[in-house]
Structure 1
Amino acid sequence: MSGRIAILAEPRVTHCGDQGLLLEAEGDLALPTQERIWALNDRVLEWPGVLDTQPGMNSLLVLLDPDESDLVESADKLLRAWKECRSATRRGQLLEIGVVYGGEGGLDLPDVARYHGLAIEDVVKLHSDAEYTIFAPGTGPGFGYLFGLNRRLFIPRRNVPVMRKVGGVVSMAGAQAMLGVPRKPSGADVSPTGWHVIGRAPDAPMPFDVARDPMSIVSLGDRIRFRVERIER
């Protein structure tokens, strides 16, 4: 995800191939809008011919069985359902995650501070004072995309990705925040990213495990707070 969310004046539904429909909500990112997305997702999953759904940031992707659904009719139905749908408050569980800011695990913290004209300590305080809500699943099993980043920390995603260590990284891009999935430490455990990595969460729990019941410890609507363990230079 680029970190840049298109702000629409009106909702729209577009075709994604011959089996998918993407509903994009109107307006900026906001919790009531996302709660409507979650409510719509629950409703759409009950429709005949729906194979799968994927809530996104201000959006919902619906995968249809072409033998059971007409794409044009389904698009109209989806748009009508969105306009009729109302948000339902979902007060999920709260997880507190300790973070080591800066240092080798948060190489971009000084750059973020310089971009905003702030001291490193101010960036850490603004980031850790916020409460984040899991808005949508991420690109893989994990904590998902987090909403709640202080507007004073909004920062564009990098145009050219950089190599950063993975494994419980705490990062941001645009109006979004992210907590990466913990991994075993390894000097070669790096990956390209356009996000700004400002710290790591060494003791974050593994959010998804197929051997566990339930497999995921977090759900959409759950909340995360970051606790400052220390700041490294």
Structure 2
Amino acid sequence: MDIMFSPSPAEFPIITPLGDSALIVTFGDSIQTSTHLKVRQLAEYLEHHPFPWMIESVPAFTSVTIYYDLMKLLEEAEKHEDRVRTLTPYQFAAELVSKLIHTLQDIKASPERIVEIPVCYGGEWGPDLETVASHNGLTPQEVINIHTSADYLVYMLGFAPGFAYLGGMSKRIATPRRETPRLSIPAGTVGIAGDQTGVYPIDTPGGWQLIGKTPIELFKPQQMPPTLLQAGDIVRFYSITREQFEAWEELER
């Protein structure tokens, strides 16, 4: 039976296998800033100091998944013959990761980066702004004021290239998803779904309530890194006029 590297099932972090070539390090069972900081701490360290047998690491809301090359892992394990006799390849990798986590406790994650995103709210680019306002008993301008007054933490990227899962939206503007998703939503569109908000980085179907659009490109595959936002960033939205939007969009071309 594979072992879990935690003092007890109720304590974190917990390391568990994912198939035969990956493991998951779980730092908590709910989305919290304190858990996110631990995820960032490990993910950032592995980005700059990867294990020689590691393929990649993928941070999520409460965990980091580490994918590894099984053959390279076995080569590394052969250097520790005493451990090879008692541990499976996964257990050997988990032991090394567990030791690493304990050494990272005194290392702080990189400072938060603030990214300001201009948004033209309402009109053709935010057709659901009135719906969000009506659902919450607010005026469209009040929705805009609330949406632009918060600092949003990027917990992780997923769903689509460069799509950031943001935390910190006020429940005062929370609105359910549309009953019928749209077949195509333009890149740059800002939406609300439940108590989440986000920006569509590429043209894609979606069921979020659309409240505006930014002229900034969030995903540029020809650049490195290709995504504007990264886990740990702080996003601040601010309102711009249609004229400002069109002028900005022209500069982006």
TM-score range, shorter chain: 0.7 to 0.9
Percent pairwise identity: 28
- The aligned counterpart of 1:65 is 69
| Structure-1 residue corresponding to 2:236 | 225
Say yes or no: does 1:47 pair with 2:66.
no
Hey, what's the Cα distance between the residues in 1 that align with 2:124 and 2:11?
A: 44
Measure, in 1, the Cα distance between the counterparts of 2:70 and 2:179. Answer: 37
> Which one has a larger percent helix, Structure 1 or Structure 2?
2
Contact 1:134 1:143 in 2 (8 A): no
What one-letter code is carried by the residue in structure 2 that aligns with 1:20? A
- Displacement of 1:63 in angstroms is 0.8
State which structure, 1 or 2, has the greater radius of gyration over its C-alpha atoms. 2
1:185 aligns to what? none
Tell me the equivalent position of 1:101. Answer: 121
Deviation, 1:193, is 1.4
SS at match of 1:136: strand
State the partner residue of 2:205. Answer: 192
Aligned Cα root-mean-square deviation (Å): 3.3
Amino acid at match of 2:66: V
**What is the rounded CA distance, in whole Å, between the counterparts of 2:15 and 2:195 in structure 1?**
23
**Structure 2 CA distance for partners of 1:112 and 1:15, relative to 1, 3 Å:** farther
SS of the residue aligned with 2:144? helix
Measured against aligned partners, the alpha-carbon deviations of 1:155-192 in whole angstroms (never above 9, x if no partner) come to: 4556763334221011233443322226xxxxxx6x32
Structure ranking higher on relative contact order (CA contacts 8 Å, 6+ apart): 1
Structure 1 residues 27, 107: closer, same or farther in 2, change over 3 A? Answer: same
Q: Give the conservation status (yes or no) of the 8 Å contact 1:156–1:173.
A: yes
Give the Cα–Cα distance (whole angstroms) in 2 for the partners of residues 159 and 49 of structure 1: 46
Contact 1:131 1:148 in 2 (8 A): yes
TM-score, L = length of structure 2: 0.68
The DSSP-based 3-state class of the residue aligned with 2:236 is: strand
2:220 corresponds to 1:208: yes
Matched AA of 2:191: S
Distance 1:76 1:155 in 2: 44
Cα drift, residue 221 of structure 1: 2.5
Alignment partners' CA distance in 2, 1:136 and 1:169? 19
Q: Is the 8 A contact 1:161 1:192 kept in 2?
A: yes
The size of the alignment, in residue pairs, is: 215
Alpha-carbon distance in 1 for matches of 2:96, 2:192? 35
The separation in 2 between residues aligned to 1:157 and 1:148, in whole angstroms, is 18
For 2:44 and 2:20, the matched residues in 1 are separated by 23
CA contact (8 A) 2:183 2:205 kept: yes
**Which aligned pairs between 1:108-127 and structure 2 lie closer than 5 A?**
108-127=128-147
Q: Please state how far the C-alpha of 1:51 moved relative to its aligned partner.
A: 0.8
TM-score (norm 1): 0.73
Which blocks of at least 5 consecutive residues in structure 2 are unaligned?
Answer: 1-9, 75-88, 243-253
Measure, in 2, the Cα distance between the counterparts of 1:95 and 1:192: 25
Q: What SS does the aligned partner of 1:129 have?
A: coil
Determine the C-alpha separation between the residues in 2 that align with 1:176 and 1:15.
Answer: 30
Give the Å deviation of 1:196.
Answer: 2.8
Report Cα offsets for 1:84-117 as digits up to 9, x if no partner: 6447253333232221222332233333333333
Report the equivalent of 2:93: 74
Distance in structure 1 (CA, Å) of the matches to 2:119 and 2:110: 26
